[in-house]
Structure 1
Amino acid sequence: MDLGKGSNKSSANSPAVIGLIAVITVLLGVGGLVIAQLTPVLFPDQASAEANQIDQLFKVMLGIGGSIFLLVQGVLIYSIIRYRKRQGDNTDGPTVHGNVTLEVVWTAIPAVVVLGLVIYSYQVWVDIQEPKEDELVVHVEARRFGWTFLYEDERLTAGNGNGNENSNATRFPAPDLHVYAGQPVRLVMETEDVIHSFWVPEMRIKQDLLPGRTTEMRITPQLVDGRASDEYPLRYRVVCTELCGSGHGAMFTYVYLHEDEESYMQWVDSSVESVLNPPEDPVLNGMRIMASGVYGCQSCHALQDSREGMTLSWDAVTGPSLQGIADRASTRVSGQPAEEYLYESIYDPGAYIVPGYGNIMNQYQFVNPDAAHYLPKPDAEAITAYLCTVSDEFTPEELAENPLCDFDNLLSYSEMYTMDGMN
């Protein structure tokens, strides 16, 4: 039987068949539109203007896919019923030969649909990448297994009091991303080690970070429908979606969406103030530095501590826990004082490897401010001073009276310490 010849061709062109095809086409279109309305149910909050565009693109694709799904399922169900085996019928079905018209149709229509989606998708991508006026620039640094965000502020200048003379001295660090509704943001992204991928589902943004390259991504945060003012700042999770090592699953942080510029600037002012006027007490200054996330200590270590309005709540497991580190630091290396062990571990983590852990910590250096992993000696001294007070056996007040570390020796050791002979 040839479907392209004879009476079948005449019947295929009959008004009844054409009308039926038209009705089916309309029903499929309506069905696709109904399925497309599921988009808000499937997706999380729309926290950026880009989310609106991407969701609309997805809605179009879901509508087209829904129509095709209904068509395929409809033909399948019809065929199962219409051509089912009937009782007593043992004959073979008719031999069917190809239909050129049908083959052209089912090739041309998908080609047109795909071409349309390509053009539409490209336009959305171009719109998202288009530079915006008065963009807020945030520098994003990724490392195994955490994120650091650097914000520029005109109040900061090189040599702002923390000993940091490199280009980042005009920026202040934070372990989280802070933005506010209506302010376009340009994220300038770099990785210190392997490939990472920055993903915020609620903002519909995802960007790979490649070693040796600087990548960029733009977002325009917006107010979220259905959220009251007292719910702001909204907090959304930032995750790495590129397998980057044993701590990949714990490589996440948060983006805080402020309702307005006033709320955002309150956070900025507080952060800048802590950089311009760090605590005179080296212990508190060390805690401030670690809390800022500038060196990514929270990426690998566990530590719970709260002092003077600062809180560290880390639960990473890739590196050894820092909880109670002051109690055991002097026992790590025979004959080495606690302060020397802690200080050396910052610059030469391979000098002593805690059993059960690998030597995967970045090796920081204090020689070249513009090179990777720069950590000036004053910061290392402050961090060491703080860690010398992280004890499970004694309170900070008790350690102030009877310290476990010799701080004069710490300064002397730091002054003579060199980068020679690193492991």
Structure 2
Amino acid sequence: MSGALMLPAASSAAGRFDLLLLALLVLCGLMALALLVLVFSIRYRAGSPADRSGANRQHRALEYTWTLVPLALFMCIYAWAAYDYAQLFRVAPEAMPVFVVAKQWMWKLEHQNGRREIAQLHVPLGKPVRLVMTSQDVIHSFFVPAFRIKQDVLPGRYTMLSFTPTQAGRFHLFCAEYCGTEHSLMRGEIIVLPPAQFAEWLAQGAATPGIAARGFELYRRYGCSGCHEPGSSVHAPDLHGLLGRTVHLQDGRTLIADENYVRDSILLPDKDIVAGFKPIMPSFAGQISEEDIMAIIAYLREQQP
């Protein structure tokens, strides 16, 4: 559906959402034509001279038809839209992670090897990308019209978004949530490069150490290794292979450990206490930055079996 009236469809999700929009427009148009709403509204308006004699005041089959058929059609549209929406959060195992911190009024991004960008994101053509995002201050929204993706970026938690670019080039990135006086200046661009060219670009700006190696240094600096390593003297949960693992909590609940769970465990350690362990971990709120928490998460992800 891309063309003169549409933005480029530059991601794997764009074509699906364009087709969904077209189907919804066609369905709504057909419903309007089939019911002749405008014609009937004018002809049989109150006070019109239209002949109403002999009108059938009860036609159950027709009533059921115009109620159930549109309902079924729109429920199909709902199921279609829900399926396509869910695909945005199904992450391919080989997806390239990118860590995003939004703040008034810029986007700060970091790749796995430690290369950082501001207001730009370089990604490889045809390769899945997974964004792990949080806000340093207020609610922002990561919006790339050409990719047909938009995700709120919230303070105090992580949100995730996946996409696969299908066209090389430069595409606008906006904040789609009013975030303050300079909201309109919070712009950027996504730069999609062929894989070989992207690998060359990524290697040129690689930081030493990379984000996972920096996370390991922070893991030791903040004392995590003194409690959470298997041989430590303190009785604390083992963090190796944590992400994606089912965690049983002291209050009987279970959850799947993800980035938000790790962040909460660092800043709000009394929120989800693991079964069999005492709530002795101190809070690091106000002592550790969002970038450092993301680095520790990157290190833990590298420890997955």
Superposition TM-score, scaled by structure 1 size: 0.46
Deviation string for 1:170-228 (max 9, x for gaps)? x22101111121110000001001111110010011001111110100001112xxxxx
- Aligned counterpart for 1:210 among listed residues 150, 154, 160: 154
Structure having the higher Rg: 1
Aligned match of 2:249: none
- 1:83, CA displacement in angstroms? 7.1
Q: How far is the alpha carbon of 1:40 from its aligned partner?
A: 4.7
Match of 2:289 in 1: 371
Counterpart in the other structure of 2:273: none
Look up the match of 1:269: 203
1:197 paired residue among 112, 127, 141:
141
Question: In 2, Cα distance between the equivalents of 1:90 and 1:136?
Answer: 69
Q: Distance in 1 between matches of 2:99 and 2:71?
A: 41
Q: How does 1:312-331 map to 2 (within 5 A)?
A: none
Give the fraction of aligned pairs with identical amino acids, expressed as a percent: 30
Residues 172 and 188 in structure 2, CA contact (< 8 A), matched pair in contact too:
yes
Q: CA deviation at 1:255?
A: 0.6
Cα distance in 2 for partners of 1:148, 1:78 equals: 56
3-state secondary structure, aligned to 2:97: strand
In structure 2, the CA distance between the partners of 1:133 and 1:90, relative to structure 1 (3 Å rule), is closer
Bigger RCO of structures 1 and 2 (CA < 8 A, at least 6 apart): 2
Q: Is residue 70 from structure 1 mapped to residue 33 from structure 2 by the alignment?
A: yes
- Extract unaligned runs of 5+ from structure 1: 1-37, 154-170, 224-231, 278-366, 375-423
Give the drift of 1:109: 1.2
Quick check: 2:101–2:108 contact (8 Å CA) kept in 1? Answer: yes
Aligned to 1:355: none
Q: Does the 8 Å contact 2:134/2:157 carry over to 1?
A: yes
| 2:107 partner SS | strand
Q: Which of 30, 54, 57 is 2:17 aligned to?
A: 54
For these two proteins, the number of residue pairs brought into alignment is 213
Inter-partner Cα distance in structure 1 for 2:40 and 2:26: 22
Q: How does 1:161-172 map to 2 (within 5 A)?
A: 171-172=114-115
- Native 8 Å contact 2:2 2:8 kept in 1: no
1:149 is aligned to 109
Residue of 66, 72, 78 corresponding to 1:112? 72
Is 2:71 the counterpart of 1:128?
no
Matched residue type, 2:90: E
**How much has 1:55 moved relative to structure 2?**
1.5
Match of 1:360 in 2: none
Query: Residue in 1 aligned with 2:283?
Result: none
Change (3 A) 1:70 1:104: same
Deviation for aligned residue 1:239: 0.6
SS at match of 1:129: coil
| Aligned 8 A contact 1:39 1:59 in 2 | no
Q: CA 1:373/1:205 → structure 2, altered by over 3 Å: closer, same or farther?
A: closer
| Partner residue in 2 for 1:400 | none
Matched, 1:251 2:163: no
Letter in 1 for 2:84: V
Residues 90 and 83 of structure 1, relative CA distance in 2, 3 Å threshold: closer
Distance 1:255 1:191 in 2: 19
Task: Name the SS of the counterpart of 2:111 in structure 1.
Answer: strand
Partners of 1:212 and 1:179 lie apart in 2 by 26
Could you say if the C-alpha distance between residues 208 and 75 of structure 1 is closer, same or farther in structure 2, counting changes exceeding 3 Å?
closer
SS at match of 2:115: strand
More helix by share: 1
